[in-house]
Amino acid sequence: MGRVKTAVDTAMVRTLDAAYWLPRAKEIAAKVLLALAEPQHKEYVPAFVETVTSEAWRGETSAGFVLKMRGGTRVELPVALPFLFEAARASGRPGSPAHRLKEIFWEHRDTAYDTILDWVRAEKRKSPEDVELGDEKVANRIYAILFGRERTWGRDLAAGGLLRALTDFARRQAAAESLDVETVATWLMAVLLAWEKMLEAELPRRFAAEFEKAHLSGRQASAEGGKA
């Protein structure tokens, strides 16, 4: 009986290993959400799947694991353009807060440029000169005004109006592209139900397989001990 109890305990620990279930939980979540999502929402699925976690827990008389998934959100850095505007002007020694601000700007400068170019293409009132230059060159000029090293009174004055227009544009774009609360709730519930079905089907099979392995290993160890 002692050998059987040991096999049961070993099998239970292996069955409830949180790390084992994480890839399976992500696989199920991705499959469910891709089937459920509208075509325009499928791009959000990877962000949701990345939030899946599998955490072990232990109580006084029991143990197990918890699967979780949050509503995946995409950080809209263009909304923070005024912050990047200040970060581009920061200077300081390595390790200082000012230096870290500068690093943040360099990390996200491409995102800032993409937002500027989108705005130029979608909403900027183009002068004859703008039309002649083309959208990319106009975006380069605006980028230089906002984030270039050369600072003048005229550039700073222009930067204020540009930042307001770009920030408003970025916020409206983010709102148009975001998921509504009802959709997020539907997605989370669908994944929860799919996980429940998965565990009902797979937990008993995994325990049986792990018990068989642990019991066989115990018998082999016992036999080898008897021979010794």
| Residue 186 to residue 36: CA distance in whole angstroms | 9
Residue 131 has pLDDT above 80, yes or no: yes
Q: What is the pLDDT of residue 224?
A: 59
- Say what the pTM is: 0.52
Q: What is the pLDDT of residue 1?
A: 57
DSSP type of residue 44: G
Structural domain harbouring 133: 77-177
Q: What is the pLDDT of residue 92?
A: 65
| Residue 13 to residue 64: CA distance in whole angstroms | 8
Q: Do 81 and 171 have their domain in common?
A: yes
Q: Do 28 and 98 have their domain in common?
A: no
Q: Do 125 and 96 have their domain in common?
A: yes
Q: Do 152 and 223 have their domain in common?
A: no
Domain boundary among 138, 154, 177: 177
Number of alpha helices (DSSP H) and beta strands (DSSP E) in the chain:
9, 2
Please state the rounded mean pLDDT for residues 138-166: 79
Give tens-digit pLDDT for 21-62: 899 999 999 999 999 998 888 888 887 888 888 877 766 666
Q: How many Å is the Cα radius of gyration of the chain?
A: 28
Total of domains in the chain: 2
Q: Do 55 and 115 have their domain in common?
A: no
Q: What is the pLDDT of residue 160?
A: 77
User: Among 49-53, 132-136, 171-175, whose mean pLDDT is lowest?
Assistant: 171-175
Averaged pLDDT of the chain: 78
